[in-house]
Structure 1
């Protein structure tokens, strides 16, 4: 977690201590020194009476103290920005001591960080820590782009996109999507994307396309994160990796199967947890064009099971094994930078890492997917190599979510007959992305396809 915070900003420093280490005199002395000047103390899972006493005394000057799943005495120390909880407990409402505006903000903050902690993912823990830093230490630019917009933004929306707004709020499904999004904290990408995939409709796409993508009524912007930046694999089967060979690795098992790869596990809490994820990479009709269609199952907020499919343009980046992806997802363009981190000679698994941004929505993200031909976990003999690839991507193995591949029927697979985008608006928007993502180098040679060796 300390390393992942530095991916957001090199100036963020997190020091980690276990309760047992606090009992060591030398470590305890260092902890007391650090705690005396700490802006935030975050405590999780501490029940030791001895550690509790040390924490209570050493952190008394920290203005923000947050405890989860700890002894009640530690929860009683909870405070946000120097303001103690009204009563003992992990999170008590602070309205009694605050103005109405400040009370509403405190309530939203506590709800947000409680939700993030409840999901128990590494992504959510990083988000929780960033929310605390943003609220009580220094503004976090990554979160600043997600803040609520003012009345001028509303005026722009009505002026530029009145018909789309009217159509959406008068349609039950589109209105349900807006209500669902409104219930999410602005910084909660997991909640927001689940609302979007649960309530997809043409009206919602038209609404987002007009307000966010075409007119940027909310004034959002975001750039693809530069860290982590794992290197792509340098060679495969003893040959230097070329652009053609890298594309063939993406295409993988397509032909022998109806898909290129199936996702076994992923790291991003918002995008990699969906059940039954199929990856379909295929070449287009135009020279050197390539497409990527992920197909995945969604269990909607109201309990239904539906299938979703996306359509990405894929362009070569400068270094073989790196690619620029772009997609129009429910009216908003996302741009992503992918790396092929590792694929063994027999194509028994693959690790792809990515980082991306939906600029018009002000959102950035990173992640990785571990894939196999059949959705089964790789052989135990591959564990060490996979862990090395994960750590090279800034990911610990325990951060992965196991994908549920147990009930995958009726998936909309197949390679489209046309490799064009599906509607004129999308064609126009994606053409601009294609110009931005034009490859800077050309590489010929290598293979146009890749046959798989038998798997052990």
Structure 2
């Protein structure tokens, strides 16, 4: 994924444990009682596994999020998304990658495969009111305000053209096939950021994704691009550093860090005017990441952007 794509969609079966404690639910209709039985059994499986689980503030949920919680119980996609993510989380202790990349990839696929409006409303309510917290993934960001990019670039450099994503550092979020991005200025204070890419679903098929994310105009002389957006109901905060650009504007190198609740992530993207870049460009790109951040460019993936991909730019 690139920096913007469904990061941290990590709700497990225990997210819905709150329904067991909702006042009056046990005296509800047959559908509610059946759902309660199903969720109780699901919870028992999760408890036996010893997998980490989100923490829910029951008072918060009962006060603010009762309606979307009940809607999720009655919605097959919402239940399936939680079930799927619960299976992912059981491998938490076995995932030794620094950002729990295997867990994040697994839960990402769950969200792409099953999440719908009901699920998004549930997660939006839980996160907006602070009813939920996740098992933490520590912050591991290589950049800060003291780094010195090789060129002083702004969001306007990104908006000069549409881009293909040809290389990525984060193997979960930066390596989706057929990635393009566009920046369009809406007015003097707002930009429309449009990432497009393809994702794998749980059944192995590919689905094309298009997002429209609002980004405010950045302060003059800002060293980074900072913005907030919502994805599958989760609030994300991200900071981008634009590190270097080719003199002929054939490529642009960037690095990003972000988080959704207690899950932190980082990555880097190389944007290009064409689907691929010839090898002679990569010496300068590799030198950029090494000199500015100390990152080994050999860790980057090559993004699949063949002629099979939709032509968007």
Given the two structures, how large is their TM-score scaled by the length of structure 1? Answer: 0.50
Residue 148 (str. 1) matches residue 53 (str. 2): yes
Tell me: CA distance 1:398–1:104, structure 2 relative to 1, closer, same or farther (3 Å).
same
Q: Could you say which residue in structure 1 is the equivalent of 2:61?
A: 157
CA distance in 2: counterparts of 1:103 and 1:155, whole angstroms: 25
Tell me: CA distance 1:322–1:363, structure 2 relative to 1, closer, same or farther (3 Å).
same
Residues 226-266 of structure 1: per-residue CA shift (max 9 Å, x gap) = 7301735354xxxxx3xxx622311132xxxxxx1111121
Residue 170 (str. 1) matches residue 69 (str. 2): no
Q: Could you say which residue in structure 1 is the equivalent of 2:286?
A: 387
From 222, 233, 236, the counterpart of 2:149: 233
Residue 217 (str. 1) matches residue 122 (str. 2): no
Tell me: CA distance 1:223–1:335, structure 2 relative to 1, closer, same or farther (3 Å).
farther
CA distance in 2: counterparts of 1:192 and 1:295, whole angstroms: 20
- Residue 155 of structure 2 contacts residue 225 of structure 2 at CA under 8 Å; is this kept in 1? no
Q: CA deviation at 1:201?
A: 1.3
Give structure 1 stretches of 5+ with no counterpart: 1-100, 109-146, 236-240, 254-259, 415-456
- Residue 224 of structure 1 contacts residue 356 of structure 1 at CA under 8 Å; is this kept in 2? no
Q: Secondary structure at the match of 2:193?
A: strand
Residue 398 (str. 1) matches residue 298 (str. 2): yes
Q: Could you say which residue in structure 2 is the equivalent of 1:371?
A: 271
Q: CA deviation at 1:314?
A: 2.5
Q: Is the radius of gyration larger for structure 1 or structure 2?
A: 1
Residues 201-228 of structure 1: per-residue CA shift (max 9 Å, x gap) = 11111011012x2222124598994730
- Residue 311 of structure 1 contacts residue 327 of structure 1 at CA under 8 Å; is this kept in 2? no
From 185, 189, 210, the counterpart of 2:104: 189
**How do residues 194-273 of structure 1 correspond to structure 2 at under 5 angstroms?**
194-211=109-126, 213-219=127-133, 225=139, 227-229=141-143, 231=147, 233-235=149-151, 241=152, 246-253=154-161, 260-273=162-175
Tell me: CA distance 1:313–1:102, structure 2 relative to 1, closer, same or farther (3 Å).
closer
Q: CA deviation at 1:321?
A: 4.6
- Residue 158 of structure 1 contacts residue 165 of structure 1 at CA under 8 Å; is this kept in 2? no
**How do residues 16-415 of structure 1 correspond to structure 2 at under 5 angstroms?**
104-105=49-50, 147-149=52-54, 153-154=57-58, 156-185=60-89, 187=100, 188-211=103-126, 213-219=127-133, 225=139, 227-229=141-143, 231=147, 233-235=149-151, 241=152, 246-253=154-161, 260-285=162-187, 287-315=188-216, 316=218, 319-359=221-261, 362-376=262-276, 378-391=277-290, 392-406=292-306, 407-409=308-310
CA distance in 1: counterparts of 2:225 and 2:253, whole angstroms: 14
Tell me: CA distance 1:149–1:300, structure 2 relative to 1, closer, same or farther (3 Å).
closer
Relative contact order, CA 8 A, sep 6+: which one is greater? 2
Q: Secondary structure at the match of 1:209?
A: helix
- Residue 272 of structure 1 contacts residue 369 of structure 1 at CA under 8 Å; is this kept in 2? yes
Q: Secondary structure at the match of 2:288?
A: helix
Residues 37-56 of structure 1: per-residue CA shift (max 9 Å, x gap) = xxxxxxxxxxxxxxxxxxxx
Bigger mean CA deviation after superposition, 339-348 or 379-388: 379-388
Q: Could you say which residue in structure 1 is the equivalent of 2:19?
A: none
- Residue 224 of structure 1 contacts residue 335 of structure 1 at CA under 8 Å; is this kept in 2? no
Number of positions where the alignment pairs a residue of Structure 1 with one of Structure 2: 252
